[in-house]
């Protein structure tokens, strides 16, 4: 039997995506095994009090910058051995705030300087590169603005440079506001997976480990030997640490030294952070992988793991491919069960490969407190699923070489649940990616109905999880948006323009919600009128195939004829290649097997065969031969109906409606973008 080329292509993409995603997932489980097998036995040595420069790269962080400077100046370390460089590229109130703080600590005898480059060239990497020109200490510690190093940090971390080839010690991130919301809990669990599984597995081994950009200490010689800070990617930390390890330096992870940090509480800030990490990793893959592959001194396993780490974000576009393909395959009645005669095993396999395995890993990570962490796993699964659109855009940006400025993740000094941030500066607006998230969420709703009506309910939880994720991320992106001028002082009152902008924003959100509800309603109506009749025909054909009673078969044929009449009335009449009448849902490159006039003729032939066989004795060989012929004809018609079903979704009417529907949402987004640009112009003009 000929296979529909379109369905074959979709099926191939689905299977290839599944294989690659499974491979990356299994590698994470392999690292989980290594993290338990290779216990951290990092040796220490009494190195005294080597000189250390603490570099604090900061850009517009007025809510947390002074907290960081205060924490660094409270470190229990000799003042004459500790130099503090506040690398301030800010252009708002942060400059004055840090200037005053630095002056105060200078008077107290600290070697602290307020470094102003006068440019943001190279962003964070540029600031660190600039600072290295005047750095002459043995060690260099780096902290981002939202971190709070404990007093004992240097005294406990520095002794871990016990071997001459250790170039970096990376400490674990803590989370001061982990319980602020569901998204901070999800982020905390995800970061713990990274540190306690991935970093722990790679530390003290021949596998490459990455610097996380903060809460770590470098040997100055290591930075210089590796070529210093480069500004070509958005993840200068990953770039430098890999180049250092290719030079023979070792990177060590210290899980017992925890440096607390503030997690992003605003969804748009979290998306920006994830975008930067995803795009930067792919940029590093394009930049470094060829050198890693040809480097003879790098072990084969280290090369494989480097490839996996640098390219792992390609999982996100593959997730979207699977998400788009699954409803199409279900509508085409393609069998996707792990074992065809045990559908329940499919969902069991997904659970075992996903949540089941992760719960076991959580048990090994947290021991007695694992149950409270396991409760966060559903939120993390929803969060990761919803983030797949944002991170997919980042991957394509990197592959296509699109230039992006380094956009830092704003923090608000939020530590407790009662702390509010929504009226603060730095509040990021939603982006065009939110529109894509809404599209995928609505597509997921249609996919759920397709799974139900195609008798594949086992796939409903899989589709629903991702659809919920898309809607959840989109909802928070919209609800967390406020119009606020970032360069204003903290005491400034909200202007009339901002009040008007927020009113416009709320009305726009109502408009988007109304358009989405209308679109979902129209989609369900379209499914009921265009697709469901085909589902009923397939169901009746199954009834014919499974029956040997002419009376029952005739009843099924009568129901089929009713739906066929309805479909033939809806489809526009054209002509086929031979000039014969045709009613075909395939309006681009139509094929004869999806011509409903021909399918109707096959149904009429089938009805004539049933009428003829009803006069034959049931115990005769002719009767059994006739029934086999009826079953074969029914199966062929069912195949033709299955081939036609996907094309009913892409009728000219549906495409036109979708274009108008999307245009309406884009129009609202464009109006909001224009309002944001007006605020930006006002800020730049200083009015």
List, by residue number, the catalytic residues: 89, 237
Give the integer Cα–Cα distance in Å for 270 and 280: 15
Quote the Cα angle for 37-41-42, to 5°: 130
Give the integer Cα–Cα distance in Å for 434 and 669: 10
Q: Are strands 574-575 and 581-582 parallel, antiparallel or unpaired?
A: antiparallel
As given in the structure block, the two tokens for residue 164 are 């001459």
As given in the structure block, the two tokens for residue 25 are 């997932």
Query: Which DSSP symbol is given to 511?
Result: H
> Which distant-in-sequence residues (6+ apart) come within 8 Å of 201 by Cβ?
31, 32, 34, 35, 38, 207
Is residue 109 a contact partner of residue 82, using CB atoms and an 8 Å limit? no
Backbone angles phi, psi at 193, to 5 degrees: -60, -45
Is residue 240 a contact partner of residue 211, using CB atoms and an 8 Å limit? yes
Question: What is the number of other CB atoms lying within 10 angstroms of the CB of residue 25?
Answer: 15
Quote the Cα angle for 198-21-206, to 5°: 30
Closest of 202, 198, 184, 158 to residue 24, by C-alpha:
198
Burial class (CB in 10 A: 0-12, 13-18, 19+), 573: exposed
Q: Are strands 166-175 and 216-219 parallel, antiparallel or unpaired?
A: antiparallel
Token pair 């699977």: residue: 322
As given in the structure block, the two tokens for residue 570 are 């809806």
The strand pairing partners of 112, in sequence order, are: 84
Q: How far is CA 278 from the centre of its chain?
A: 9
Q: How far is CA 389 from the centre of its chain?
A: 6
Give the integer Cα–Cα distance in Å for 255 and 204: 12
Is residue 486 a contact partner of residue 425, using CB atoms and an 8 Å limit? yes
Backbone angles phi, psi at 115, to 5 degrees: -90, 120
Question: What is the number of other CB atoms lying within 10 angstroms of the CB of residue 74?
Answer: 12
Q: Are strands 111-115 and 82-88 parallel, antiparallel or unpaired?
A: parallel
Burial class (CB in 10 A: 0-12, 13-18, 19+), 576: middle
Query: Which DSSP symbol is given to 61?
Result: -
Cα separations in angstroms, 238 against 210, 212, 284, 306, 313: 5, 7, 8, 11, 14
Query: Which DSSP symbol is given to 432?
Result: T
Closest of 625, 637, 641 to residue 544, by C-alpha:
637
Question: What is the number of other CB atoms lying within 10 angstroms of the CB of residue 217?
Answer: 22
Query: Which DSSP symbol is given to 465?
Result: H
As given in the structure block, the two tokens for residue 101 are 């703080």
């Amino acid at each position: 039997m000929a296979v529909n080329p379109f369905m074959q292509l979709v099926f191939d993409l689905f299977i290839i995506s599944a294989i690659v995603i499974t491979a990356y997932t299994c590698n994470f489980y392999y690292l989980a095994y290594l993290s338990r097998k290779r216990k951290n036995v990092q040796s220490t040595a009494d190195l005294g009090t080597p000189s250390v420069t603490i570099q604090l790269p900061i850009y517009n962080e007025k809510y947390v910058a002074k907290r960081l400077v205060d924490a660094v100046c409270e470190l229990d370390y000799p003042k004459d051995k500790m130099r503090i460089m506040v690398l301030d590229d800010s252009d708002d109130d942060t400059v004055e705030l840090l200037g005053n703080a630095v002056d105060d600590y200078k008077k107290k005898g600290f070697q602290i300087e307020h470094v102003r480059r006068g440019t943001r060239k190279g962003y964070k990497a540029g600031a660190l590169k600039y600072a290295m020109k005047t750095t002459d200490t043995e060690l260099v510690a780096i902290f981002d603005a939202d971190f709070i190093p404990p007093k004992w940090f240097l005294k406990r971390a520095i002794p871990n440079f016990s071997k001459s080839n250790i170039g970096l010690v990376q400490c674990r991130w803590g989370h001061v506001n982990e319980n602020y919301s569901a998204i901070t809990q999800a982020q905390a669990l995800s970061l713990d997976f990274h540190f306690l599984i991935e970093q722990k597995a790679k530390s003290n081994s021949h596998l490459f480990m990455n610097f996380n950009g903060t809460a770590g200490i470098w040997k100055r010689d290591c930075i210089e030997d590796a070529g210093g800070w480069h500004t070509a990617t958005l993840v200068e930390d990953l770039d430098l640490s890999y180049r250092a390890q290719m030079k023979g330096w070792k990177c060590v992870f210290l899980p017992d030294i925890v440096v607390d940090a503030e997690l992003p509480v605003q969804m748009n800030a979290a998306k920006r952070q994830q975008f930067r990490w995803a795009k930067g990793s792919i940029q590093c893959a394009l930049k470094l992988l060829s050198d890693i592959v040809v480097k003879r001194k790098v072990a084969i396993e280290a090369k494989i793991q480097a490839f996996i780490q640098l390219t792992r974000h390609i999982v996100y576009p593959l997730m979207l491919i699977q998400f788009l393909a699954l409803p199409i395959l279900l509508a085409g009645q393609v069998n996707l069960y792990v074992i065809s005669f045990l559908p329940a095993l499919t969902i069991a396999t997904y659970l075992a490969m996903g949540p089941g395995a992760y719960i076991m890993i959580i048990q090994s990570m947290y021991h007695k407190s694992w149950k409270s962490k396991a409760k966060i796993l559903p939120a993390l699964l929803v969060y990761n699923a919803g983030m797949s659109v944002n991170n997919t855009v980042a991957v394509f940006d990197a592959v296509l070489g699109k230039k992006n400025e380094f956009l830092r993740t704003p923090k608000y000094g939020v530590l407790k649940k009662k702390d509010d941030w929504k009226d603060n500066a730095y509040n990021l607006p939603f982006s065009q990616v939110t529109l894509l998230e809404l599209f995928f969420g609505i597509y997921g709703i249609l996919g759920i109905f397709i799974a139900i009506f195609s008798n594949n309910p086992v796939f409903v939880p899989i589709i629903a999880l991702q659809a919920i994720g898309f809607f959840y991320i989109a909802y928070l992106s919209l609800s967390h948006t406020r119009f606020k001028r970032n360069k204003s002082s903290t005491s400034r009152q909200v202007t009339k323009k901002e009040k008007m902008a927020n009113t416009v924003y709320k009305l726009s959100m109502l408009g988007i919600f109304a358009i989405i509800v209308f679109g979902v309603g129209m989609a369900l109506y379209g499914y009921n009128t265009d697709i469901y009749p085909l589902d009923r025909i397939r169901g009746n054909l199954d009834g014919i195939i499974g029956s040997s009673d002419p009376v029952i078969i005739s009843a099924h044929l009568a129901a089929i004829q009713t739906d066929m009449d309805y479909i033939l009335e809806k489809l526009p009449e054209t002509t086929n290649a031979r000039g014969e009448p045709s009613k075909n849902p395939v309006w681009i490159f139509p094929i004869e097997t999806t011509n409903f006039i021909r399918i109707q003729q096959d149904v009429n032939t089938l009805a004539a065969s049933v009428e003829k066989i009803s006069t034959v004795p049931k115990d005769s060989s002719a009767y059994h031969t006739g029934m086999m012929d009826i079953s074969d004809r029914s199966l062929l018609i069912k195949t033709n109906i299955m081939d036609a079903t996907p094309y009913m979704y892409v009728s000219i009417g549906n495409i036109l409606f979708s274009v108008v529907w999307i245009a309406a949402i884009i129009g609202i987004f464009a109006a909001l973008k224009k309002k944001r640009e007006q605020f930006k112009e006002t800020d730049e003009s200083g009015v």
